Chains A and B, each alone.
Chain A
Amino acid sequence: MLRYVFRRLLTAIPTLFVIVTVAFFLIRVAPGGPFNQERGLSPEIRANLEAQFGLDDPLWLQYVHYLGNLLRGSFGPSYNLPDFTVTELFAKGLPISVQIGTSALVLALLLGSILGTIAALNQNKIADYSVIALATAGSTIPTFVTAPVIQLVFGLSWKLLPIGGWGDGALINKVGPVLTLALPQIAIVARLMRGSMIESLRSHHIRTARALGLSDWSVVVKHALRGAVLPIVSFTGPAAAALLTGSIIVETIFSIPGVGRYFVDAALNRDYTLVMGTVVVIALFTIVFNLIVDLLYAVVDPRVRYD
């Protein structure tokens, strides 16, 4: 088991290296630079700035420097927010994005599983059709529509929630963003759960359990659920990586100071170090969560073993 984890982490290194290399050269090939503002700087000042950040070195040297710094755990300074290093920016924004993302993920897993199970137990009845309708709606309506509609209904008309803002992490400020983020995920989880639960309920061990006279509750929760939960486990990996690294739409509409905006803003401003930092963080999250999911598989399904 430990050896497996170690091996997986080792194989992640070349992946990360490829991603960092591709991202580094892609953003450098893009026209423009971090100090190309609309009001041009005088050439002397620009030359000094570029010298200070080492941008006047040949590209390969900059790449080597960057890799070296990365290995020492430093992402470098942000070019457009000169008072901050990239690490500081993430230390500030990432906890916020992670909080909202985790809440949305937990909500989606719980609610989606419950809805999916209800639908599977009442196949082709009204409850089933309502869940399917809800799932279709949830996965069709994009978040940039749900977010302002939630603001409009709960914030402006009913005055139940604040329209936006972080409010130093007050619970009430998180409801809107979490709900917006969770809705499409609830739809996916419910659909996955419905499908796998129907299949699981048809399997032999469930028939045996029923024949032994176990209660419905015990059949579903103790026996069917364990088999049905596998597709949801594999969904959780990429979903967690995406949710926890912040959503630009939700964070922009609800004015949440998370990391969701970093990537787009940084790419547009050619804030090279921040772009690279975001790419590395997203890649790390993806690698780690995929590993966790694979390990969870062995816990849920005893047929899977890592030796």
Chain B
Amino acid sequence: MTELAVAVPEPIVGRSLWGNAWARLKRNRAAMFSLYYLAFIAIISVFGPMVVPHDYTTIYGDYVRTPPSLSAYPRPDMLQTALTDAIKRMRVDIKEWHQDGSRVIVTVTSKKPVDDRNIRYLDRSDAFDDTKIESKSPDGLEVTMSSAIKQQYFLFGTDNTGRDLLSRTLMAGRISLAIGLLAGVVAGVIGVIYGATSGFAGGRVDEVMMRIVDVLYSLPFIFFVIMLVVFFGRNFVLMFLAVGAVLWLDMARIVRGQALSIRRQEYVQAAEAMGVGYRGILVRHVIPNLLGPVVIYMTLLVPQVIILESFLSFLGLGVQEPMTSWGVLISVGAKNIGYANWLLLFPAFFLVSTLFALNFVGDGLRDALDPKDR
């Protein structure tokens, strides 16, 4: 017997809805770029605050409202001021100082013997570190100290109280993105469950459930949100769970509409005729077809929540200091545009670019998942 099967052709693997959608999404350059950009923003927001040498709450009293710069602080012309400030606190007089590489050497005199513990005043300054006594005159009235110049970078500048804006912007990104996802998921889950129930139950139940949605719709949205702020006070996690619980109305309507139309499709009727159970139809036909619009709408919900959070924080009702979010930073920036415009520009850029990216991803997903547009 000779081998009959010479070369079995590879079985053709059908592409699933999701495989197809992914292939289409990959061809959409704006959406893919936005996807990478979002991943980038998410990574720097989550890990950035651990990498940046400044903590987002640390106050540098000597560096209030320093403009953003790629070079290190203190600048040469700032040494004099920082030094005189520190020496003044020691209640001694400067005799002479000069810079020697990365250290400054300063000689001070006084009418009383200089206490060794005075060096801590230099260490306390934001500009100096690692202060040592180099030499002392025999009578103790003249002391030479040396101190390392603390090199610090403020790439985004500092704010009104001297906190590093870079670490604050990244920390704010963490909060804004987390809130967007949290409230978005809450709204999504409530909306899907409510909408699917209403769409499947149909009849009287559907009617009543949708009238409830209509009533909630007709109340001014901002009224709800402000009432939630009034009830939950300053606990922002609770508050945004509540905000998520308000934003589900659109999702419920979309899911209900989809569920109603899927139920009437021929393939569902065919499945029913073949005796497929309720559960089987739900798992095999309804849920996969619902997922598309749900995913698309979720990508639109997240920017909505981020804007809402920023809006509330802008009014001073959302995230509270020293915790921060993009809305808080923009609100501070808007009040200081006269003399520190970087306080507005950096956070605004982060917020707006993230919103753009989310929009492009949402649009891309809509194109990729729309079954009518093949």
Q: Are A144 and B219 in contact (CB under 8 A)?
A: no
Among residues 256 to 292 in chain A, which have CB atoms less than 8 Å away from a CB atom of chain B?
263-264, 267-268, 279, 282-283
CB proximity of A74 to chain B, nearest CB, Å: 22
Q: A18-B215, A152-B341 are contacts. A142–B226 as well, Cβ < 8 Å?
A: no
Report whether over half of chain B's contact residues are helix, strand or loop; otherwise say mixed. Answer: helix
CB proximity of A184 to chain B, nearest CB, Å: 11
Q: Are A142 and B310 in contact (CB under 8 A)?
A: yes
Q: A22-B219, A264-B315 are contacts. A253–B334 as well, Cβ < 8 Å?
A: yes
Bound-state CA distance A142–B331 (Å) is 12
Q: Are A152 and B230 in contact (CB under 8 A)?
A: no
Bound-state CA distance A19–B330 (Å) is 34
Q: Are B330 and A148 in contact (CB under 8 A)?
A: yes
In the complex, which residues of chain B have a beta carbon less than 8 angstroms from the beta carbon of A94?
none
Q: A156-B338, A263-B223 are contacts. A148–B230 as well, Cβ < 8 Å?
A: no
- Check: A69 CB closer than 8 A to any chain B CB: no
- Check: B122 CB closer than 8 A to any chain A CB: no
Among residues 269 to 324 in chain B, which have CB atoms less than 8 Å away from a CB atom of chain A?
303, 307, 310-311, 314-315, 317
In the complex, which residues of chain B have a beta carbon less than 8 angstroms from the beta carbon of A148?
330, 333-334, 337, 344, 348
Bound-state CA distance A71–B344 (Å) is 47
Q: Are B355 and A152 in contact (CB under 8 A)?
A: no
**Of A141, A145, A267, A283, the contact of B227 (CB 8 Å cutoff):** A267
Bound-state CA distance A149–B348 (Å) is 9
Interface bin, chain B:
20 to 34
- Check: B6 CB closer than 8 A to any chain A CB: no
Segment touching B, from A23-31, A118-126, A191-199, A295-303: A23-31
**Of B307, B327, B337, the contact of A152 (CB 8 Å cutoff):** B337
**Of B218, B317, B341, B359, the contact of A136 (CB 8 Å cutoff):** B359
Closest to A151 in B: B337
Among residues 142 to 165 in chain A, which have CB atoms less than 8 Å away from a CB atom of chain B?
142, 144-145, 147-149, 151-152, 156, 163
In the complex, which residues of chain B have a beta carbon less than 8 angstroms from the beta carbon of A264?
222, 226, 315, 317
Bound-state CA distance A282–B355 (Å) is 29
Bound-state CA distance A156–B219 (Å) is 39
In the complex, which residues of chain A have a beta carbon less than 8 angstroms from the beta carbon of B307?
142
In the complex, which residues of chain B have a beta carbon less than 8 angstroms from the beta carbon of A147?
334
Bound-state CA distance A151–B356 (Å) is 22
Among residues 216 to 233 in chain B, which have CB atoms less than 8 Å away from a CB atom of chain A?
218-220, 222-223, 226-227, 229-231
Report whether over half of chain A's contact residues are helix, strand or loop; otherwise say mixed. Answer: helix
Q: Are B215 and A27 in contact (CB under 8 A)?
A: no
- Check: A248 CB closer than 8 A to any chain B CB: yes
**Of B227, B230, B327, B337, the contact of A156 (CB 8 Å cutoff):** B337
Closest to A142 in B: B307
CB proximity of B41 to chain A, nearest CB, Å: 15
- Check: B23 CB closer than 8 A to any chain A CB: no
**Of A23, A32, A268, the contact of B223 (CB 8 Å cutoff):** A23
Q: Are A142 and B311 in contact (CB under 8 A)?
A: yes
Shortest 7 CB-CB distances between A and B: which pairs?
Answer: A148-B334, A30-B230, A267-B226, A152-B337, A145-B348, A144-B314, A140-B355
On A, residues with C-beta under 8 Å from B are 15, 18-19, 22-23, 26-27, 30-32, 136-137, 140-142, 144-145, 147-149, 151-152, 156, 163, 248-249, 252-253, 263-264, 267-268, 279, 282-283
8 A-B pairs, CB-CB below 8 angstroms?
A136-B356, A144-B311, A144-B334, A145-B348, A145-B352, A147-B334, A267-B230, A279-B223
On B, residues with C-beta under 8 Å from A are 215, 218-220, 222-223, 226-227, 229-231, 303, 307, 310-311, 314-315, 317, 327, 330-331, 333-334, 337-338, 341, 344, 348, 351-352, 355-356, 359
| Known contacts A23-B219, A253-B334, A283-B220, then 10 further A-B pairs from the complex at CB < 8 Å, ordered by chain A residue | A19-B218, A26-B227, A137-B356, A140-B359, A145-B330, A148-B337, A151-B334, A163-B338, A264-B226, A267-B227
